Every structure is written in C-alpha cells, then in structure tokens.
Amino acid sequence: MSETKKIAVTTPTANYFVEIGTGLVAQVGARVDALLGGGLKAGRQKVFVVTSPEIWRIWGQQLTSGLPVAPTVLSVPAGEQHKRLSTIERLLEELAEGGADRDSVLIAFGGGVIGDMTGYLAATYMRGIRYVQVPTTLLAQVDSSVGGKTGVNLAAGKNLAGAFYHPLAVFADIDTLETLPAAELRAGLQESVKAGIIRDRALFDLMDAQSDAVLAGAKAALAKVVADSVQMKADVVHADEREGGLRMILNLGHTLGHAIEAATGYKTLLHGEAVAWGMLAAVAIAKRRGLVTEAEHDRMERVIKTYGPLKRFEADPAELVALTAKDKKNRSGARSFILPKGIGDAVVVKDVTVDELTYTAQRMMAMVAKEGVA
C-alpha cells in the first residue's frame, strides 16, 4: 500500500482523522480494531456494515478480508429515494435483531447516501453508538463523509431530519474511484470545484490547470484533489461545527441545487450535477451584484462546465424559487444564500429577493435548454 495522508478534524465535540490513500479498504478492519483497543479481535464487539448491493459485490470481499470478525451486512438499495426515515426504522430493527449494543460499531461503506444514513443510524440507535466512514464515491470522500452531518430526506425537503454526529475515523480509498461511472466521478468533482471557489484558490487553480489528469482518473491528481478538499472542509468545521455562520459557505450551489433535486424527484440528476447548476446560478447572482468581476465569473463558469457535461432537466423556475423557501439554512423566514466573492472567498447573504431568484432561475433554465445534455 502506498503512503497515506492523514488530515485531522478537530471540533469542540470530536477529534478524528481522515486517512486518504490507496489499498485502504483491506486495511479498515485493522485500523478500526486499533481505534477500539482490540475489541474486535478479542471478540468483545460486533461489526455492522451498512452498504449497497453494488458496492458490496465489488468491494465487500476486500473489506471482509481485513476484519477480525465476520460483519453483519445491512443492505440499502442505491438511490436518494431510499434516504428516508422508513429506511432508518428498518435498519434500527435489524440492528436490534442482530444483537447490536452500545459497544458495537457501524461501518458506512458506500457513497453519500449510505454515509448520511449510517451516521444518523449510529446517532439514534441506543442514543448513540460508534461508526466509521469508508466513502467509495468522490463526492462522499471530499465532502459528505467529513464534518459530522448526518440525516435523511423528508417529503418537504432534503436532509430536514438529522443530527450532528461525528465518525471515529474516515478512510478514503482512492482505488474505489476506479469503479465509479464517469458521470459520478464528474459529479463528485463539482464539490471540489465548490471548495476551491469558496475558500481555496490554489485548489481551484489546480482543478483548472490539471483538469485533463483529474478527469482521466489519475490517482495522484485525484488524491491531491481529495486531500485539499478535505483539508478545506476540516478547517471550516473546526471554526464552525454546527453551521452557525462560516460553515454555511460549504453550501454554495446547494440552495437551488436542492430545489432542483426536489423538483425532479431526486431521479434525474446526481447531487453534484444539481449543485453544479446551482453554482452557475450563484455565480450569476454574484456577477449581477458586483461581487465578482466579469473575468472571474467567466472563469468560474468555464471550470464548472469543464467538469460536466451538465445534464438537462425540466423544472418550472417559479417552483424552484418556491422550493428554496424550504431550505434548512433559512432562518426567521429569510433565505440564506451563499455567493462567491472573488475566487477563493464566499459570503452568506440573507437579502436575495424573490425577483432576483426568479431572474436567475429563468436564466439558468434557459442555459439548461441550450447547453444541457440529455
């Protein structure tokens, strides 16, 4: 196994590492056992793996080979539509039936949906048991597995039920990205583009200059992108664990992105694809407000599109605007919106008007019709 990089995540309530490298899946068992003081090898603790059938078929044998004890596998079908409280209830019952107790450990083995649900499952079972993140998609590695946000969707909106609950550790194996469909790789990379826009100009510059290598799946380039994205998020979470202020900048593109996902029933676009359209809208508002220059706007738009192609979808601009009113970042009835302020900086604003959003949504839908791919 090649050398790994460890990035510390420290908050008032948690202290853990994100480990990034290759060959990590087979090493997860030994690393988790070390974190638990040898309890797995001694037979004192049980392991439950929450995963999808697709991930388990490809990577399950490698994960199992490194575990000192045979895990109980809890299976969740792939797809955002399964990220619901009904799934959590089923998994809670399966944990109880499997004899899970407060010393048991969960392993989230999959993409962002699996990670979000496993974290919420861990937070609620017996009022909290330990869990580990083993993200297998780029989006999960660079974003959702880090920072302790867990949750599920309600009919009213995305991630409206959840908890802040940190893992014991995160193990991001770059090897797992080899089996990702190209669309999922590109969708995940949009979260790294976001990271560069809001707080890390050097990362943005790297993704601009080395887009060919990154999109080709070169492991060194991907490892650098993942590590820099995680470091940026770790710094933000350290400063604002519970999204009281600064952490909200991590949601650039997500206000309209979540509205797009809801309007299309979570079936048309991948999360990163929806966020990409939302970022294009946010960049346009920032230009209209004079927060970014025309040159900065054009460069950000170009890089976002580079990590496309962006998929076409159908939605009514008025419905998208209405759905933004249900965003969980909103406070006291005011819509919170994250806008770039140059490249490598962002600001949270609460004065984006309905007229402004409507104009931007209409502009975005015109772009979808002109440039979106089927």
Predicted confidence band of residue 39 (pLDDT cuts 50, 70, 90): confident
Task: Supply the pLDDT for residue 332.
Answer: 46
Ramachandran angles phi, psi of 221, nearest 5°: -65, -45
**Which residues make up the CATH 3.40.50.1970 domain(s) of the chain?**
5-179
Task: Supply the pLDDT for residue 327.
Answer: 64
Q: Could you give the residue numbers annotated as active site?
A: 127, 149, 191, 233, 243, 247, 251, 254, 258, 271
**8-state DSSP, 331:** B
Lookup: tokens for 321: 């605007």
Which H or E run includes 105? strand 105-110
Exposure of 61 in the CB half-sphere (CA atoms within 13 A): 2
Mean pLDDT (whole number) for 338-359: 93
b/e map 149-185, b = 16+ CB within 10 Å: bbbbbeeebbbebbebbbbbbbbbbbbbbeebeeebb
SS3 label, residue 155: coil
Task: Look at strands 5-10 and 15-21 and give their pairing.
Answer: antiparallel
Mean pLDDT (whole number) for 26-44: 90
Per CATH, which fold does 5-179 belong to?
Answer: Rossmann fold (3.40.50)
Task: Supply the pLDDT for residue 334.
Answer: 60
**Which residues make up the CATH 1.20.1090.10 domain(s) of the chain?**
191-371
Over the stretch 100-148, which tens digit does the pLDDT of each residue have? 999 999 999 999 999 999 999 999 999 999 999 999 999 999 999 999 9
CATH classification of 191-371, choosing from 1.20.1050.10, 1.10.150.130, 1.20.1250.20, 1.20.1090.10? 1.20.1090.10
Strand partners, 340: 346
Whole-number Å distance between alpha carbons of 145 and 75:
19
Whole-number Å distance between alpha carbons of 25 and 59:
8
pTM (predicted TM-score): 0.92
Which H or E run includes 106? strand 105-110
Mean pLDDT of the chain: 94
209: Cβ contacts below 8 Å, ≥ 6 apart: none
Task: Look at strands 72-75 and 346-349 and give their pairing.
Answer: unpaired
SS3 label, residue 304: helix
Predicted confidence band of residue 328 (pLDDT cuts 50, 70, 90): low
Lookup: tokens for 137: 């998609």
Mean pLDDT (whole number) for 303-323: 95
Whole-number Å distance between alpha carbons of 19 and 32:
12
Ramachandran angles phi, psi of 339, nearest 5°: -125, 140
Nearest CA-CA partner of 31 in 129, 103, 122, 133: 133
**8-state DSSP, 140:** I
Predicted confidence band of residue 14 (pLDDT cuts 50, 70, 90): very high
Neighbours of 271 (CB within 10 A): 28
Strand partners, 334: 331
Lookup: tokens for 9: 């995540």
96: Cβ contacts below 8 Å, ≥ 6 apart: none
Which residue matches tokens 């900086």? 345
User: Is residue 168 over pLDDT 90?
Assistant: yes
